[in-house]
Structure 1
Amino acid sequence: MRPRYKNVKMFRRSRVMWGSWRIWEPRLVFWFGALAIGVISVLFARAADRAQELFDTLRHTTEFSPYLPLIITPLGFMFCSYIASTVFPNSQGSGIPQAIAARHLHEPQLQHRLLNLRIVIGKIALTIVGLFCGASIGREGPTVQVGASIMIQTARLGKMIQTKGLIVAGSAAGIAAAFNTPLAGIVFAIEEMSRSYESRANGLVISAIVLSGLAAIGLAGNYTYFGYASAIAVKPEDWLAVVICGVGGGVLGGLFSLYSLKAARRLKRWAQPAPVKRMALFAGLCGLIIAVIGIGFGGETFGTGYSQAKTVIEGGSINPGYFVGKLVATFLSLASGIPGGLFAPSLSVGAGFGSSVATVLGISVSLGAILGMAGYFAGVVQSPMTAFVIILEMTDNHDGIITLMATSMLGYIASRVISAEPLYHGLSRAFIADSIKYQRAQVRTTADDGAPAKEKDGPDAPRSA
């Protein structure tokens, strides 16, 4: 038995330690950062929804308003592309590739180039502008980069050393707060962000998700993203839909992923002589085509596609060819390089595809929409666990978990046959390569100046390593 005086000494030492500001500082900063992610996610969601509502209102004000996108959309795309390239570099696209790239980089300076508070401002502002212009984008991917950026900032302020774990935690908290799907946030952290999860980051991820979720629920209430949907595969036709939505959705998602990666690489080479000017012009062309598609579909393909997806999940009907127009509009929005995510538009494409399959087979439209979302989304991101968990939580359809799992797995397998490289990880390679080039250029510049090459040390340099 331990002597009593030793227990007293240990107790006193513990009181001194836990009363130390050095112990509490990183914890308090981390908690504040997680709460901030939840608050910002809710405010971002409200602003994004308002921007889309304003665009829809603008299209119905006068007799000629339906044709306003022919002017607003291309000009808005050019503006977003130019500002993203010149004022907010590394804010382009979804934001998830930047978070993945930052996690693979070892130098704090390079991580800070991809994740910082300046990018938080630009990402939110330009995504809102994009939705106001009719872009087929979502806010969920940008919320991931915003969450990771906030957590990187907490690492600097709190002198924390687990920067990679904080990037994963911030990203997971962003997904959880954006959709009100805490389990999906955890699975996203394991499957998409790292692909090789570190168990020591468990506490960070769960704490960040809990705190950001509490903040989001406090502001927006506890809700289910698409409402409640009870859809179970019972009849043989239902299981045939599982196969068709899984394989067909996976093929569509794989093609989307494959050609998105090819387009990104070829556009980068093409724009090299004058990247800012050429990408702005290309973004304008994409915006014009998206405007034409949107007008042709009566405005359905503009924006996130949330209302169309919700309509078919509730058993309603939409244009049978909607998913084709939405897929093309989403592809062009991604290729243009403007800030904006893929999650919501991809779910909408999948829901449209599944509803068309359901109509042909004569089964429940709600079941078809949910299966289509699972198959197509798993095909795009090639993360089957994330796909079925996020759809499970978004629809509260726990009765259909087996069918969701089967459809997601089929979608993943079909997509892998077409595209060997996952979309987000493929896009992240470009940011990793640019960061390495930047680092080498900095080393050469320092060497040419005659000073020893060393890491940047100043107010912009993170204090964690």
Structure 2
Amino acid sequence: MKYRFIRKNLKTIRWVQKIEGIVREYLKTRFDSIANNKLKQTLLNALPFWLGALLTGVVAVIYAKLFLLAEQGTIYLYNLNKWLFFAITPLCFVVSWWLVHKYAPYARGSGIPQVSASIELANPKKYHLVSKLLGFRILLIKIFSSLVMVFGGGVVGREGPTIQIAGSIFKKINDLLPEWYPKISKKNMLITGAASGLAAAFNTPLGGIVFAIEELTKTHFSFFKSALLTGVIIAGLTALNILGPYLYLGYPTVNHLSWWVIFPVLIAAVLSGYLGCSMTRIILYVLKKKSVLQTNAKKIAYGVVGGLIIAALGVLINMEAFGSGKELMQTALLTDNKYVEWYVPLLRFFGPVISFTNGGAGGVFAPSLSAGASIGSFVAEWFQLNGSNANLIILCGMVSFLTGVTRSPFTSAILVLEMTTAETTIFYLMMAGLMANLVSSWVSKHSFYDQLKEQYMQEVDHEEVKA
């Protein structure tokens, strides 16, 4: 009896073990299936962002090298015969405008407002309008028009255009995805593209991330942080591996700062922030008045006059009236020539106004930084500052002027910090940015890019209605 009971229990145990084995095997199979599907889904979602970031890094490097060659061409011609610019600059202004006017009207200007407008339009009802603001043709015209402009001495930068170029790359990739592909947020693609473009242009990954959060979107960061981070990293690493390790501006000395330097910092911040915002107001005013020029002949005449003014400033006063101003910043920060002539801030202030309103492609990021550097240099001379103290004032002027233009104080501070690795100045830079933001908000309620963004959205909507 006892033996029968044990045998029965052993049989039950074997059945239980067999059932447990079947269940375990089933659960393992299901778990592996879920894990594999999840991995596949994650990879499929990530691949477009990775490809876009890789292409952005490559194109940004090529564009940067071409832009540098164009600026070097300007210097070569200036040394050869500076009077040539009275013919070359007006011609380049007209050609730069004509390329945009003829082939891609929305390639004009900076590119940041176009990307911001595209992000706003990235919904099922209006996404078709984004093709007017981002695309392969816009990418090409953006590059060629800005290169022609800067070769002629135009006061424009490549950073804003790089952001529109990157947005165009990411949009094209998203549009080419097949029907069976997992749905990817169009808005997240554009945001990541813009951030990747800025990171590759300046070699500032943190700046790209902060720019995306502060300037481009109101979407909660948690919804797209993985795509954004990987996009910025890949684009930045691509540019870094092609160009090698570099800083946009170099390694200025910022050690052993005086305790009282905070006072000239505040003065530079207020002055630069006010002038940065004022410059954008003048640009918007001129663009509004220029809109009455309906015929191409009048627009060409505007370009010729603008080109002659820039040529006269560069030839008759100082060559620092030409180009993005990167050399000016490096000279002020990295050499003993800390002070600029009294008229240089005026040249750097009015140069972008004339160049930007011409209607060709080109941004105001780098020109704003150089204008801020010249103002900071001027303030440093007022207080007879040298060495590290003068460098700090110049850096704060750069942050403040850019903040006056963009209303993005944290982006401005992080960008300048990453361009120079001046970690010890971070609190001064952030304070300057916040002070400049306060002053510029008092001067004008809305930022430069926001106002241009609204104009672009109205334009594409108006074209849609007319069509």
What TM-score do the two structures reach when normalised by structure 2?
0.89
Q: What is the aligned counterpart of 1:89 among 102, 105, 112?
A: 105
**Is 1:413 matched with 2:438?**
yes
1:237 touches 1:363 (CA, 8 Å); kept in 2?
Answer: no
**Is 1:55 matched with 2:71?**
no
Whole-angstrom CA distance in 2 between matches of 1:10 and 1:116: 43
- Give the stretch that moved more between structures: 206-215 or 9-18: 9-18
DSSP-derived class of the 1:223 partner: coil
CA shift in 2, pair 1:142/1:19, >3 Å: same
Q: What is the aligned counterpart of 2:395 among 366, 370, 391?
A: 370
Whole-angstrom CA distance in 1 between matches of 2:359 and 2:462: 20
Q: What is the aligned counterpart of 1:347 among 356, 366, 369?
A: 369
Structure with bigger helix share is 2
* 1:137-286 superposed matches below 5 A: 137-158=156-177, 160-231=183-254, 234-235=257-258, 237-268=260-291, 270-271=292-293, 273-274=294-295, 276-286=296-306
2:64 touches 2:201 (CA, 8 Å); kept in 1?
Answer: yes
Whole-angstrom CA distance in 2 between matches of 1:347 and 1:297: 21
**Is 1:316 matched with 2:337?**
yes
Q: Aligned pairs, how many? A: 435
DSSP-derived class of the 1:338 partner: coil
CA shift in 2, pair 1:17/1:329, >3 Å: same
Summarize deviations over 1:358-413 as a string: whole Å, max 9, x none. 01101233222112111111111111001111011111100011111111111111
Whole-angstrom CA distance in 2 between matches of 1:190 and 1:260: 26
Whole-angstrom CA distance in 1 between matches of 2:43 and 2:414: 35
DSSP-derived class of the 1:336 partner: coil
Q: Which residue of 1 aligns with 2:12?
A: none
Whole-angstrom CA distance in 2 between matches of 1:44 and 1:368: 31
Q: Which residue of 2 aligns with 1:287?
A: 307
Name the % identity: 30
Summarize deviations over 1:131-161 as a string: whole Å, max 9, x none. 1111000100000000111111111122543
Q: Point out where structure 1 has 5 or more consecutive residues left out of the alignment.
A: 443-465
Q: Which residue of 2 aligns with 1:103?
A: 119
Q: Which residue of 2 aligns with 1:131?
A: 150
Whole-angstrom CA distance in 1 between matches of 2:52 and 2:193: 9
Q: Point out where structure 2 has 5 or more consecutive residues left out of the alignment.
A: 1-19
What TM-score do the two structures reach when normalised by structure 1?
0.89
CA shift in 2, pair 1:330/1:233, >3 Å: farther
CA shift in 2, pair 1:412/1:109, >3 Å: same
The structure that has the greater radius of gyration is 2
Whole-angstrom CA distance in 2 between matches of 1:250 and 1:93: 21
Whole-angstrom CA distance in 2 between matches of 1:299 and 1:148: 33
AA partner of residue 197 (structure 2):
G
Whole-angstrom CA distance in 1 between matches of 2:177 and 2:160: 26
Once the 2 structures are TM-superposed, how far is the Cα of residue 29 of structure 1 from its aligned partner? 3.2
Once the 2 structures are TM-superposed, how far is the Cα of residue 279 of structure 1 from its aligned partner? 2.7
Whole-angstrom CA distance in 2 between matches of 1:259 and 1:320: 21
Structure 1 residue runs of 4 or more that deviate by more than 6 Å after TM superposition = none
2:196 touches 2:236 (CA, 8 Å); kept in 1?
Answer: yes
Once the 2 structures are TM-superposed, how far is the Cα of residue 44 of structure 1 from its aligned partner? 0.5
1:38 touches 1:177 (CA, 8 Å); kept in 2?
Answer: yes
Summarize deviations over 1:300-329 as a string: whole Å, max 9, x none. 111111011111112424323211111111
Once the 2 structures are TM-superposed, how far is the Cα of residue 259 of structure 1 from its aligned partner? 1.7
Q: Which residue of 1 aligns with 2:33?
A: 13
DSSP-derived class of the 2:94 partner: helix
Once the 2 structures are TM-superposed, how far is the Cα of residue 69 of structure 1 from its aligned partner? 1.1
AA partner of residue 367 (structure 2):
P
Once the 2 structures are TM-superposed, how far is the Cα of residue 201 of structure 1 from its aligned partner? 1.5
Q: What is the aligned counterpart of 1:397 among 416, 422, 426?
A: 422
Whole-angstrom CA distance in 2 between matches of 1:190 and 1:19: 28
Once the 2 structures are TM-superposed, how far is the Cα of residue 349 of structure 1 from its aligned partner? 0.6
Whole-angstrom CA distance in 1 between matches of 2:129 and 2:443: 33
**Is 1:28 matched with 2:53?**
no
Across the aligned residues of Structure 1 and Structure 2, the Cα RMSD in angstroms comes to 2.0
